[in-house]
Amino acid sequence: MQACEHLTPILNSMISAGCSVQGESGNWSEAQHVVHFSSPLPASMRGLAQPPVVYYQAGRTPHNAGDEGYFCRACRVGLSFPTTE
């Protein structure tokens, strides 16, 4: 499991909060590397983004389940959480 230097503090906070990692993927058009969590983003963990890290929300599409999380624009690395409906 790896994230960039900007996301590692957030990643560690998630692990400390009990979030578990489902897997990782890479080589997306917009992201080099994404860490996927198996549980939703805790509400208390939504305010952690500081540049170059941004918080994002992506709606469900025919091809993708919705997700939210953090993305580092400098390193193109993301932390992805499933959204509940």
Q: Can you give the binding site for Zn ion, defined by CB under 5 A?
A: 4, 6, 72, 74-75
**Cα 75 from Cα 4, distance rounded (Å):** 7
Work out how close the CB of 60 gets to Zn ion at its nearest, in angstroms, rounded to a whole number: 27
Instruction: Using the Cα atoms of residue 34, residue 15, residue 18 and residue 74 in order, give the sign of their dihedral.
Output: negative
Residue nearer to Zn ion on the CB measure, 15 or 65: 15
As given in the structure block, the two tokens for residue 80 are 């992805």
Least Cβ distance, residue 75 to Zn ion (angstroms) = 3
| Euclidean distance between CA atoms 77 and 3, whole angstroms | 7
**Nearest to Zn ion of 4, 58 (CB atom):** 4
Tell me whether residue 4 or residue 21 sits nearer to Zn ion (CB atom). 4
